[in-house]
């Protein structure tokens, strides 16, 4: 039983130490070395795709994907209003504009029915984000994209291992990006990757990741590229993490059943809604307070903090943040989910008793005093 329960915690109890030590002993600490290729291969196999291009974080991976897909000044990309800000920022890095789409009120994810109204002649693509580990409803999104000539780039930063109708995220669009930040399901400290089945796109992404250097001619550059490479040390962590990814995913699934059991008797706590076609990977077990709860969401979180339990609010919708502020924005569902959502501690250090303690504290915290 943990004294103070954190929201997230990495688990490094496999071969992490051994592989990192090997990097140091062999002096292969920079962005060449055997762990990078090994990690890329393991991660591609895990996602069921042909290529994984490892990057130094999830934000650069997403930016690289957009550059690789040809996004540039004047373009628009459809991004969910409810997401982490990196999704929107990467579009701006390209000189393009994110155009926000409202979410489904139950799953937090981009609502396919809200997409078409946001398409303009400038729209180049759509970026479904599998929020908190829940896959988006990809069939209608892909149908719209195909009919309107748009690319689909998955932001799968939070959803390693999640499945849509049996298929792993990462292979459900033209390409996908992942994050391996310290609080994500699989971590390399800082890290990211783009996955794709498209050989030509993969080659372009590799070129752009390494400053655009011509693979046939050293120190010759035909394009402006980036240094978005992952280090061998980070990849060493990644290989060790991938060796036990199935165990990590199985644990999170069981953890969710514990939360489901303990919260089943709380009618004012809305548990994660999982569609029949979805396999949620539970990066975060995120609940919503029923509108009948009279204690404010922030007060509920403050009370839980007082009980030694760290929680986090669901993301602020993009349309309220200064860089993307839009008044009279048509995003009622995102606004409502953001106001009522709380992510509960979700990680592998939690015991059954910890979950009982979190749920008891939550039940206490929503009671009016
Ligand atoms: C974590 C995250 C990212 C960015 O990943 P970093 O590795 O932190 O740069 C992008 N999108 C979403 C939805 C994320 O949760």
CATH number of domain containing 313: 3.90.1150.10
Contact 152, 173 (CB under 8 A): yes
| Residue of 155, 188, 281, 312 to test ligand 1 pocket, by largest number of atoms within 8 Å of CB | 155
Kindly give the distance from the C-alpha atom of residue 255 to the centroid of ligand 1, in angstroms, as a whole number: 23
Number of domains in the chain: 2
Last residue of a domain, one of 212, 242, 272: 242
* Whole-angstrom distance, CA of residue 323 vs CA of residue 199: 35
Which three-class secondary structure state does DSSP give residue 41? helix
| Residue of 56, 87, 133, 170 to test ligand 1 pocket, by largest number of atoms within 8 Å of CB | 87
Q: What share of the chain is helix, strand, coil (3-state, %, to 5)?
A: 40, 15, 45
Kindly give the distance from the C-alpha atom of residue 58 to the centroid of ligand 1, in angstroms, as a whole number: 5
CB 129 near ligand 1, within 6 Å: yes
| Residue of 10, 157, 160, 186 to test ligand 1 pocket, by largest number of atoms within 8 Å of CB | 157
Per-residue model confidence as pLDDT tens digits over 262-292: 999 999 999 999 999 999 999 999 999 999 9
Q: How confident is the model at residue 2 (pLDDT cuts 50, 70, 90)?
A: low
Verify that 94 and 202 share a domain, yes or no.
Answer: yes
First to last CA, the chain: 28
Per-residue model confidence as pLDDT tens digits over 311-340: 999 999 999 999 999 876 789 999 999 999
Range of the domain at 285: 245-365
Kindly give the distance from the C-alpha atom of residue 179 to the centroid of ligand 1, in angstroms, as a whole number: 5
pLDDT of residue 273: 95
Any domain includes 171: yes
């Amino acid at each position: 039983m943990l004294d103070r329960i954190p929201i997230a915690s990495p688990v490094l109890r496999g071969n992490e130490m051994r592989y990192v030590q090997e990097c140091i002993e062999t002096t292969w600490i920079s962005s060449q070395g055997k762990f990078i290729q090994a990690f890329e291969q393991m991660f591609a196999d895990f996602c069921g795709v042909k290529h994984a291009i490892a990057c130094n974080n999830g934000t650069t991976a997403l930016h690289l994907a957009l550059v690789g897909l040809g996004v540039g000044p004047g373009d628009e990309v459809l991004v969910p209003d409810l997401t982490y800000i990196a999704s929107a920022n990467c579009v701006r890095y390209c000189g393009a504009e994110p155009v926000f789409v409202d979410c489904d009120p139950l799953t937090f994810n981009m609502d396919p029915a809200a997409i078409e109204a946001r398409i303009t002649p400038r729209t180049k693509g759509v970026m479904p984000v599998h929020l908190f580990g829940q896959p988006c409803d990809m069939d209608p999104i892909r149908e719209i994209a195909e009919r309107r000539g748009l690319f689909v780039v998955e932001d799968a930063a939070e959803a390693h291992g999640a499945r849509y109708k049996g298929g792993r995220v990462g292979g459900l669009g033209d390409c996908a990006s992942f994050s391996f930040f310290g609080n994500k399901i699989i971590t390399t400290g800082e890290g990211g990757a783009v996955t794709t089945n498209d050989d030509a796109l993969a080659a372009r992404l590799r070129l752009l990741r390494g400053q655009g250097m011509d693979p046939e001619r050293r120190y010759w550059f035909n394009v402006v590229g980036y240094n978005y490479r992952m280090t061998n040390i980070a990849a060493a962590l990644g290989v060790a993490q991938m060796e036990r990814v199935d165990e990590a995913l199985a644990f999170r699934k069981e953890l969710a059943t514990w939360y489901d059991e303990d919260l089943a008797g709380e009618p004012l706590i809305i548990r994660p809604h999982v569609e029949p076609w979805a396999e949620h990977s539970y990066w975060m077990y995120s609940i919503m307070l029923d509108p009948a709860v009279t204690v404010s969401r922030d007060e509920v979180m403050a009370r839980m903090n007082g009980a030694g339990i760290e929680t986090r609010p669901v993301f602020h919708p993009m349309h309220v943040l200064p860089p993307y502020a839009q008044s009279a924005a048509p995003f009622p569902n995102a606004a409502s989910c953001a106001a009522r959502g709380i992510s509960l501690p979700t990680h592998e250090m939690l015991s059954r008793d910890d979950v009982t303690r979190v749920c008891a504290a939550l039940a206490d915290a929503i009671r009016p005093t």
